[in-house]
Amino acid sequence: MSHKSLLKNVSITQAGKAHSSSHNKKYRFTKGEYRLTVKEDRDESHYPLEVAEVCITSGIKRLEELLAEVRRLQLSKGEGSV
């Protein structure tokens, strides 16, 4: 059985050159700066590490909620089939 991940298109990368953020023009990445890279279809979005931490923390919370719901539904399914 292959294992699928919801996070296959998320990684930490380094900026190859200095450039402004596409989400916040006030923020400028410096060459070599680490950032969160999210790939969607053929587009890449980059986020500063400070923003990445907030996004990841929020994502973990949501994934934990979804996991709890999956486990609850599996238990209720098991109880109904006895």
Task: Give pLDDT tens digits for 7-64.
Answer: 779 999 999 999 998 888 889 999 999 999 999 888 999 999 999 999 999 999 999 9
Query: For 46-55, which contacts have Cβ atoms below 8 Å and span 24 or more sequence positions?
Result: 46/13, 46/15, 46/21, 46/22, 47/21, 47/23, 48/21, 52/12
pTM over 0.85: no
Which pLDDT score is estimated for 1?
61
